[in-house]
Amino acid sequence: MRNFGKQSTVAVAGKYLALGFYVAFALFPLYWLAKIAVTPDKLIFTDGTALVPSSFTFENFRTVLLHTDFLAYFRNSLVVSLGTAAITTCIAAAAGYAFSRFDFRGKRLIIAAMLITQMFPLLMIIAPIYKIVAAVGLLNSLTSLIIVYTAFNIPFATFLMQSFFDGIPKDLEEAGMIDGCTRFQALRKIILPLTLPGLAATLGFIFTAAWSELLFALMLINSNDTMTFPVGLLTFVSKFSVDWGQMMAAGVLALVPSCLFFIFIQRYLVQGLTSGAVKG
Amino acid sequence: MARIELQNITKAYGSVEVMRDIDLTIEDGEFLVLVGPSGCGKSTLLRMIAGLEPITGGEFLINGERMNEVPPRDRDMAMVFQSYALYPHMDVARNMGFSLEIRKSGSEERDRKVGEAAKTLGLTALTKRLPKALSGGQRQRVAMGRAIVRDPSAFLFDEPLSNLDAALRVEMRLEIARMHQRLAATMIYVTHDQVEALTLADRIVVLNAGKIQQVGTPLDLYESPANKFVAQFIGSPTMNILSVEQNSNGIQLKDGTVLQMAGTPDKDSVSELGVRPEHLNIVSPEKAHLSGVAELVEHLGSDTNIHAKVPGVGQVLVRQHGHYPLKAGEPVDIALDLDKTHLFDQKGRRLAA
Amino acid sequence: MTALADTAPGETRARPSFYFRYLVEPYLYLSPAIVLIALVMMVPLAIGISYAFQSVNLLRPFETGWVGFENFQALWSDRKFWLALTNTFWWTLGSISLQFFLGLGLALLLNTQFHGKRLVQALVFLPWAVPTFLSALTWAWLFNPTIGPLPHWLAALGILSEPYNILADPDLAMWGPITANVWFGIPFFAITLLAALQSIPGELYEAAEIDGASTWQCFTKITLPFLAPMIAITVMLRTIWIANFADLIFVMTGGGPANSTQILSTYIFTTAFRKLDFGYASAIAVALLGLLLIYAAILLVLRRKLVKI
């Protein structure tokens, strides 16, 4: 860092101040969420805007986990998000591979169609989807959510996977094919092992997206048994809007899987997101 | 062992034809080099032979059997890529044995063959390493080892040495020549480097703009190029091309000098004369055909290249053996070795003497 | 030619695999994606557009049928629609400009060297991973004077006369979701712009420095022109995305108070979800889609004229 010695101390101080502002802005809401969650109920109002609670408790977490339906919501969301992420990644990997490696008739058309799906208001199809799902008797089922989320996420995931495949030289699978592989064998034995980081990143992105989807879940699910976490939390908030500690404890719990995946995919963000999402 | 025939091969991308009328027979055990400037189609041709690129038209035969649509894995050819295309997630031994692994040969046989190949290429100590832990030259050897292990009926090389530095390139060129002597297998080698082509090839195919310009032994191409393109492409430094016209006296240069040539073709279509720098000599003024001024003198030790400007004729490059004591700005008088000149018509075709 | 005849059987055997490899195979890999997108997105999209010209209200199941442009006529004279359109404009403009400038600032900071960069980068990108419903709830709570500190701070700064919930104040309510949106959206701009910044060759700055350019000149003459294509495309995509983005507002204010935060997409959702009037909801959606298409077309034309790279 010595080569930056020529910068004035004021500029350096300003830079660290700006960085400090960004970090504080990013973390403060989450900190507050966690703070209220660990503050004992009777102290919530007396502590007011104090930055550190005067005593800690995990009672709120215990109540949420043991005496509410949150575990069920959590399980439903986990099923939906994992199912969506797994299926989407498989389908998108195949499609991204085709985009990356083949030139064929209709390619531009299909890419254009996929881009269009990213442009129109998804809410536009909420009514037709509701009617179709109701007609096939899949309302209140997690399967319908998985299918719908999978379709929504395929275009983005496909462009993301394509960018990962584009990063692997074509020579490698050609060498494999000359060495005696069929195209599929070359894909399985040579390309896929090299795409594992890309597959993991895609899984993470899709999982996070499915985990936070609210409006379609709200529309398609109204039975308490199959509610996903966002729907469940929202119902809880509108029903018991004074159990602050418990609501925030539930919020902190909802944050956990996303943050785990975020840490997991963090290092691919800058390279993966841009090449996949923007150029694609 | 394989005898490979290309009959009227064409290649088109959509409606754009990039290659046509490719007729070529590669004899069993022959070392054939495809050479040409970048974009001439030499790599595409090699990839069609390998089966990586569909053939648009014509017949592609191996040992007399049509193979146009046969996938690469059933053509029994090994290929060394320009990028080496080593599998990054496999160690050297597995890279070399991968084709046997796919063909489900026993692990004992695989180990034996990989061991042998590693020994001949001096890779025995490196077999457990991943490609990223190897130097460029070592990677190149692994790529060759991967081809040898298979004992294929033909080897294909796609500019295998172009990513190496000059010294390694010479060393690996010798290695490939030795490999050909030892295995006596059919080899097809693509390069843009004419030195590789001239030193390795039994026969050379010169390609330009998707068409074969000439097929012949290195000496054929050097001594009797079929056209101006081949004449200028083969040989270093490049052949001098001088505008000439033919009249009753013989061949006349633009500055009026008449060259008395034996066996001048009895045609009035002569338009240019080609003469290699090594077939020009600096002589005393009275014996000279051309007189000019040395603009630039390059002392290479073994040779001296003199770039001379000849009024009325243009730039002429003369190559003298050994050290030639001449400075830029000094006058030069140049004689042509008339037996070794080439005449070309307007279309660049060489006119037979 | 006799050789040809000899190998004819081989030819017929190999033909199908030839066509398979170059024509059919890509579609094998693509078909699951195509089928799902067609069934779950394209078909419903067509149905959705057709709903705009029908009366489809689940609460009045006997009044279904084609109604021509009736929904659009109702839209034209619907004060809530025009209000929502105005709100959509301010919501989108406020969110995108703050997100963009703060995101650009962050990207420029992260493109320099400092201690603990990896950690800082992970922390400032974290809001992006927070599920949107949770961002919305968290910010709604922060604005709540009972448990959140923001009203007290704003009152202490003199911005509010007393600590009250701005989400309940029709004049200020829109700032709540915009703040949440900016918090959530800065990382996206920072990430994409950072990647673009990193792709600018360092030699350019060295060359400019040798030519005597100041830091500010480097920024305006090298950085901005290089970022311009990325800025154009991300701003366009994000604008469309934000205009469609209903979750934050729906959770934080539900469009209230007094429709002061009702934007077109929340209006679509509440019309479909609460009133189950699918025909009218689809008409609003078609109107929104049309406006977005016009916007995208204008931006693409501008881009072609302004961006040289």
pLDDT digits (tens, 9 = 90+) for C176-212: 999 999 999 998 888 888 888 888 888 888 888 888 8
Fill in the DSSP letter of residue B21.
E
Whether C32 and C179 share a structural domain: no
C3/B64 touch (CB, cutoff 8 Å), yes or no: yes
Q: How many residues does chain C have?
A: 309
Whether C84 and C40 share a structural domain: no
Q: Provide the mean pLDDT of chain A.
A: 83
Selected for mutation to probe chain A from B46, B102, B140, B156 (highest A CB count within 10 Å) is B102
Q: State the helix-helix crossing angle for C132-142 and A192-212, rounded to 10 degrees.
A: 40
Which parts of chain A have pLDDT scores under 50?
Answer: 1-5, 272-280
Burial class (CB in 10 A: 0-12, 13-18, 19+), B292: buried
- Decide which of C60 and B338 is more confident: B338
Both tokens assigned to C206:
């060295």
Is the residue at C64 inside a domain? Answer: no
Whether C86 and C228 share a structural domain: yes
Q: How many residues does chain A have?
A: 280
Whether C98 and C226 share a structural domain: yes
| Burial track B137-174 (b if 16+ CB lie within 10 A, e otherwise) | bbbbbbbbbbbbbbebbbbbbbbbbeebeeebbeebbe
Phi and psi for B207 in degrees, rounded to 5? -115, 145
Q: What is the CATH number of the domain that holds C182?
A: 1.10.3720.10
- Cα–Cα distance, A47 to A51 (Å, whole number): 9
DSSP of A29-97, one letter per residue?
A: HHHHHHHHHHS-GGGHHHHTT-SS-SS---HHHHHHHHHSSHHHHHHHHHHHHHHHHHHHHHHHHHHHH
Give the distance from residue C19's alpha carbon to the nearest chain B alpha carbon, in angstroms.
9
Nearest neighbour of A274 by CB, restricted to C45, C137, C191: C191
B102/A169 touch (CB, cutoff 8 Å), yes or no: no
> Is residue B218 within 8 Å of residue B198, measured between CB atoms?
yes
Q: Report chain B residues whose CB lies below 8 A from the CB of C3.
A: 59, 61, 64
pLDDT digits (tens, 9 = 90+) for C110-135: 888 888 887 888 888 888 888 888 89
Is the residue at C62 inside a domain? Answer: no
C141/A124 touch (CB, cutoff 8 Å), yes or no: no
Q: Which residues on adjacent β-strands are paired with residue B270?
A: B345
> Is residue A33 within 8 Å of residue A248, measured between CB atoms?
yes
Whether C35 and C126 share a structural domain: no
Query: Beta B240-247 vs B270-275: how paired, if at all?
Result: antiparallel
Q: Which domain holds residue C35?
A: 2-51
Q: Which residue in chain B is spatially nearest to A105 when comparing CA positions? A: B14
Alpha helices, DSSP H only, in chain A? 9-38, 44-47, 59-67, 70-101, 107-117, 126-135, 142-166, 170-178, 183-186, 192-212, 215-220, 229-239, 244-268
pLDDT value of residue A163: 84
- Decide which of B141 and C23 is more confident: B141
Q: Which residue in chain C is spatially nearest to B74 when comparing CA positions? A: C14
> Which chains does A contact via 3+ CB–CB distances below 8 A?
B, C
pLDDT value of residue B81: 93
> Is residue C169 within 8 Å of residue C162, measured between CB atoms?
no
B146 vs A: CB within 8 A: yes
Nearest neighbour of C14 by CB, restricted to B59, B64, B69: B69
Q: What is the CA radius of gyration of chain A?
A: 23
> Is residue B131 within 8 Å of residue B88, measured between CB atoms?
yes
Q: Which residue in chain A is spatially nearest to C190 when comparing CA positions? A: A270
CATH superfamily for domain A68-279: MetI-like (1.10.3720.10)
B85/A172 touch (CB, cutoff 8 Å), yes or no: yes
CB atoms within 10 A of CB B107: 10
Q: What is the CA radius of gyration of chain B?
A: 24
pLDDT value of residue C78: 86
Domains of chain B are 4-232 (3.40.50.300), 240-351 (2.40.50.140)
A113/C288 touch (CB, cutoff 8 Å), yes or no: no
pLDDT digits (tens, 9 = 90+) for B232-254: 999 889 999 999 888 777 788 88
- Cα–Cα distance, B308 to B93 (Å, whole number): 56
pLDDT value of residue A268: 63
Return the half-sphere exposure (C-beta side, CA atoms, 13 A cut-off) of residue B85. 26
Q: How many domains does chain C have?
A: 2
Nearest neighbour of B69 by CB, restricted to C3, C6, C17: C17
Q: Which residues on adjacent β-strands are paired with residue C269?
A: none
C278/A244 touch (CB, cutoff 8 Å), yes or no: no
The tens place of each residue's pLDDT in chain C, 309 residues long, gives 333 333 333 343 444 455 556 678 888 899 999 999 999 999 999 998 888 888 888 787 777 778 888 888 888 988 889 999 999 999 999 999 999 999 999 999 988 888 888 788 888 888 888 888 889 989 998 998 888 888 888 888 888 888 888 888 888 889 999 999 999 999 888 888 888 888 888 888 888 888 888 888 888 888 888 888 888 888 888 888 898 888 899 988 888 788 888 988 899 998 888 888 888 899 999 999 888 888 888 877 877 776 654
> Is residue B67 within 8 Å of residue B61, measured between CB atoms?
yes
Q: Report chain B residues whose CB lies below 8 A from the CB of A182.
A: 71, 73
Query: Domain spans of chain A?
Result: 2-57, 68-279
